[in-house]
């Protein structure tokens, strides 16, 4: 009897595990099958794509690259119930602590996925972001754009941002992240999620700047850190760090030997003078 009960228990356990395996293996819903971010590092965006800014002015992407500054791009839609706001809040939090300022050092572009939205919906979003950012002069470097569906989709396709419209809910299924573009309009870096570390944000902006007008300290930081695709962030690059440490040790050793040599030379001269 006990053996029979054991066999029944074992069979039930196998059946349960089998059902769990089948549930895990189920494919994603069709609406979510092609949603997320596919990295297109080095790809160029079409700078002639036209949009409308939060004031109703017609603009092209080239208007924001003409200054030779990197561009931080994020996609959103303004009636998003949660995710878009979380991404933007995380972006602003990480930018607020940076020494770089929008307009002066880089541009921020928030582009609506929803072709039905316009300046009336975009302006409050810009005002909210500016208030949260709290940086003087940021108005000239933070822009909220809307546009025709084909132009939004072209920009999203070029940068690898995949989203799907859900008409029954009037919402969009999409990923969470930021896209960094070089002054030439090439995709430089991606940061993922809704929260971004201060270091990752700083290094992503530095990477996108392609070394233009950055300080020696920033260049040294870039030398010591490298983006790790597995961790989706920047990590200390041991090889470069060791090279830098080795070079520093060599310089300090050379200086020490120089000082000792000069001291020995002075002693020899003093001894010779007393003879």
Residue 137 lies in a domain: yes
CATH number at residue 121: 3.40.30.10
Q: Could you list the residue range(s) of the whole structural domain that residue 179 is in? A: 32-213
Residue 71 Cα to chain centre, angstroms: 11
What tokens does 218 get?
């920033």
Residue 265 lies in a domain: no
Instruction: Compute the distance between CA of residue 264 and CA of residue 259 in angstroms, rounded to an integer.
Output: 9
Q: Provide the domain count of the chain.
A: 1
Give the model confidence (pLDDT) of 103-141 as tens digits.
999 999 999 999 999 999 999 999 999 999 999 999 999
The closest of 179, 159, 55, 157 to 109, measured between CA atoms, is: 179
Residue 132 lies in a domain: yes
Indicate the helix (H) or strand (E) that contains 187. strand 187-192
Neighbour count for residue 45 (Cβ, 10 Å): 23
Residue 256 lies in a domain: no
Q: What is the structure's pLDDT at 8?
A: 42
Residue 242 Cα to chain centre, angstroms: 26
Q: What is the structure's pLDDT at 212?
A: 54
Q: What is the structure's pLDDT at 259?
A: 74
Whether this model's pTM surpasses 0.85: no
Q: What long-range pairs does 155-158 form, CB within 8 A, spacing at least 24? A: 155/45, 155/46, 155/49, 155/61, 155/111, 156/75, 156/113, 158/40, 158/43, 158/44, 158/45, 158/46, 158/187
Residue 102 lies in a domain: yes
Instruction: Compute the distance between CA of residue 275 and CA of residue 273 in angstroms, rounded to an integer.
Output: 6
Residue 94 lies in a domain: yes
Which residues are within 8 A (CB) of 34 and not within 5 positions of it... i.e. 6 or more apart? 162, 164
Residue 146 Cα to chain centre, angstroms: 22
Q: What is the structure's pLDDT at 181?
A: 97
The closest of 140, 81, 89, 84 to 111, measured between CA atoms, is: 84
DSSP 82: S
* Ordered mean pLDDT values, 10 residues apiece, the chain (275 residues): 46 44 45 80 97 98 94 97 95 95 96 97 97 94 97 98 95 95 95 92 89 50 58 58 53 66 69 65
What tokens does 54 get?
């939060």
Helix-helix angle 198-209:216-224, to 10 degrees: 110
Residue 236 lies in a domain: no
Residue 14 lies in a domain: no
3-state secondary structure labels for all residues of 200-256: HHHHHHHHHHCCCCCCHHHHHHHHHEEEECCCCEEEECHHHHHHHHHHHHHHHHHHH
């Amino acid at each position: 009897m006990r053996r029979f009960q054991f066999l029944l228990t074992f069979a039930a356990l196998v059946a349960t595990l089998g059902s769990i395996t089948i549930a895990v293996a189920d494919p994603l819903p069709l609406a979510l099958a092609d949603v997320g971010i596919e990295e297109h590092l080095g790809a160029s965006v079409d700078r002639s794509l036209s949009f409308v800014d939060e004031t109703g002015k017609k603009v092209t992407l080239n208007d924001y690259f003409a200054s030779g500054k990197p561009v931080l791009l994020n996609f959103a839609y303004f009636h998003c119930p949660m995710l878009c706001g979380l991404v933007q809040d995380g972006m602003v939090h990480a930018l607020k602590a940076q020494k770089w300022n929008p307009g002066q050092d880089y541009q921020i572009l928030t582009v609506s996925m929803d072709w039905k939205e316009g300046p009336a919906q975009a302006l409050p979003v810009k005002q909210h972001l500016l208030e949260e950012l709290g940086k003087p002069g940021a108005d000239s470097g933070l822009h909220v754009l809307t546009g025709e569906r084909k132009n939004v989709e072209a920009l999203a396709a070029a940068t690898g941002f995949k989203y799907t419209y859900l008409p029954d809910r009037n919402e969009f299924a999409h990923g969470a992240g930021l896209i960094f573009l070089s002054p030439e309009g090439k995709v430089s870096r991606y940061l993922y999620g809704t929260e971004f570390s201060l270091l990752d944000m700083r290094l992503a902006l530095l990477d996108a700047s392609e070394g233009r007008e950055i300080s020696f300290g920033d260049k040294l930081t870039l030398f010591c850190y490298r983006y790790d695709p597995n961790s989706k962030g920047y990590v200390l690059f041991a090889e470069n760090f060791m090279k830098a440490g080795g070079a520093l040790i060599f310089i300090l050793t050379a200086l020490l030997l120089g000082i000792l040599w000069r001291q020995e030379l002075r002693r020899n001269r003093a001894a010779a003078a007393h003879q």
